[in-house]
Structures are given as structure tokens and as C-alpha cells.
Structure 1
């Protein structure tokens, strides 16, 4: 049996940046928070899509570290500004 392949470090870092960008807390039940959650997720999804499309268009010159940094910089530019949802058990604990 062969050893399972592992992801190269730069690929793992890029995937981590994508996951971090899209992993935002669910909003409270307030309409404004739900709207802001949707807008933030839409914005971050667009940024991730652009980074990945550029990477795929320029396959001869991949720089996954730069792509991960790009995603992280745009994620920092658009932080969570809405109130996240907390269950009663979270509030009591």
C-alpha cells in the first residue's frame, strides 16, 4: 500500500485562506444583521473567486503564497460588523 499524498504547504495555506474568508458567523435575527451578513459573504465570495480565477488563468506562474495573502488582505478589509447570533446556552455559559 502506498503512503497517502499530503498537500503541499502553499496549497494548504491557500485553502486555509479561502476557508477563513468564507467562515463567518451567522447573524442575529435582526433584519439589518441578516442583510449585512449576506453582503459580507457575497463580497468575500467575490474576492475569493477573483483570486482563484486569476490563479487558474495564469497556471504557468502560480504564486499561491501571494494568492493566499491577497485573500487574507481583502478579508481584513471587510471584517464582520454585524451582531452574530448567540444561543441562550452560549449567553449563559
Structure 2
């Protein structure tokens, strides 16, 4: 299993939706709760974010590989599916 790094902004509605999706996914499948996620608040960690290639939050990585980056007008269902995909990849590695 690999650790996931997630960049977020505290008041970002897409980040809030990703955290809600994560909570729901863990409720649906407790195995997802085993995935370690390093939540990095973008505005407080400029020295870290410079090492990653992304434009929008939330963005989720395993190592330097970007697995998910939110986009404008993304629905909750789309977000949840992307977060699930990240969790599935983390568990499989």
C-alpha cells in the first residue's frame, strides 16, 4: 500500500467535497481507511507545492504521479469516483 499526498485549500468547495467523498468511501469500504493520506494545505506550504505539478485543488498524488486533480464544475459523483480510483490504486501498490 502506498501513501497518498493530497493538496487542498481550506475553504475550497471542491476540497470539501473530496473530504466528504473520502468519508463516505471509508464508511462503504473500511479498507479505504487503511490508506495513509498526507493532507497538505497549499497556502501554508509553498515550499512543498513547488515540487509538484498541478493547477487545481484538490490534487492527489502517489509519489510524484498525479492521480486526480479537480476541475471546474466537477460534480460530487465525479469527485467521489476519482477519489475512489486513487484509494484503489493506493491499496493495489
TM-score by length of 1: 0.36
Asked which structure has the greater CA Rg, the reply is 1
Q: Higher helix share goes to which structure?
A: 1
Q: Higher strand share goes to which structure?
A: 2
TM-score by length of 2: 0.36
